[in-house]
Amino acid sequence: MRVQIKNNILEATFDTLGAELISLKSNEKEYIWEGNPEFWDKHSPILFPTIGSLKDDVYFFGGKEYTLPRHGFAREKQFQIVEQTEHTILFSLQEDAETLKVYPFCFELQIEYRLVENQLTVAYKVKNNSSGNLFFSIGGHPGFALAENFDHYSLVFETDEALQFSFLEDHLLSAEIQNLEVESNHLPLHYQLFEKDALVFKNHKIQAITIQENAKDFLKINFKNFPDLGIWTKVNAPFICIEPWFGHADEVVSSQKLEEKSGIQSLEKNGQFSATYSIEIAVQ
């Protein structure tokens, strides 16, 4: 089921499947990728309870083996609408018989979207309803539609520190660290950057990225306090994904034990986790 919220600047549309943002418009201009399956059939999926791929698609917990697909299961689950106003909507997902077979934890995942002037804020809340610690990762995967040629766009970073990233090797995080060459905080986009899949930044100090179109601000994504980040597109695809994460894909050398997984979050019994990022449209 599709639902909308709007204000005098923005109109956002969501699907209850995955609580996914599927459209964000201002003055009829679309900012979210259309989901063309020729390239990628998603728009802005929620990644939970894992991000990226597990080594051999398997993890171990409590002496048992479990299998999870890439990016977890939340993006393929129907969420309930808890509350909706003109400017906000709150979705909820809880464990069920299917999730317990692949993820032995009791939880509630809430996703709140809120329009404030020219911004859409995305708030995550994870509640641990299990008897012990809850281990999870969570993150966004928003794809932004690019109407011009790809090389008409650039990314602007607010930090002047050297940026280091890792490539993915068969969907797993390489141990090799690469330097990202930027000039005056600008990274011109070209498809060669993504010939080895996503660029993954671990424990970075990046807090925001602005996408520029023809040297003018297009939109800005703010993600203060998210420790990990992915930037991705497919070669020749007219979109770019800026992905703020708490966690990332398994490393090539992963032990496959969930509690030892690099980037994993641990939440004590009855604990709550919260995080927020925002998409800010450059109003013309």
pLDDT by position in tens, the chain (length 284): 999 999 999 999 999 999 999 999 999 999 999 999 999 999 999 999 999 999 999 999 999 999 999 999 999 999 999 999 999 999 999 999 999 999 999 999 999 999 999 999 999 999 999 999 999 999 999 999 999 999 999 999 988 777 899 988 889 999 889 998 888 899 999 999 999 899 999 988 899 999 999 999 999 999 999 999 999 999 999 999 999 999 999 999 999 999 999 999 999 999 999 999 999 999 76
Q: How far apart are CA 31 and CA 42, in angstroms?
A: 14
**Conformational region of residue 257, where left means phi above 0, alpha means psi within -120 to 50, and beta covers everything else:** beta
Secondary structure (3-state) at 130: coil
Amino acid 271 reads G
Please write down the long-range contacts of 56-63, taking CB distance under 8 Å and 24 or more positions apart: 56/256, 58/256, 59/256, 59/257, 59/258, 59/261, 60/256, 60/257, 60/258, 61/104, 61/135, 61/257, 61/258, 61/259, 62/104
DSSP 8-state symbol, 9: S
Tally of CA atoms within 13 A in the half-sphere of 174 that contains its CB = 15
Distance of CA 112 to the CA centre of its chain: 14
**Spatial CA neighbour of 139 closest among 40, 72, 42:** 72
pTM of the entire structure?
Answer: 0.96
- Structure confidence at residue 198 (pLDDT): 93
Secondary structure (3-state) at 255: coil
Q: What are the residue ranges spanned by the domains of the chain?
A: 2-281
Q: Can you give the C-alpha Rg of the chain in angstroms?
A: 18
Distance of CA 179 to the CA centre of its chain: 22
**Spatial CA neighbour of 268 closest among 255, 277, 259, 278:** 259
Alpha-carbon distances, residue 73 vs 96, 125, 165, 222, 244 (angstroms): 12, 16, 26, 25, 18
**Spatial CA neighbour of 250 closest among 188, 202, 189:** 202
Dihedral in degrees, nearest 10, Cα atoms 51, 257, 254, 191: -10
Burial of 221 (0-12, 13-18, 19+ CB in 10 A): buried
**Do the Cβ atoms of 232 and 199 come closer than 8 Å?**
yes
Q: How far apart are CA 255 and CA 57, in angstroms?
A: 13
Structure tokens at 73: 């299961």
CATH code at 2-281:
2.70.98.10
- Structure confidence at residue 284 (pLDDT): 65
Structure tokens at 108: 């509630």
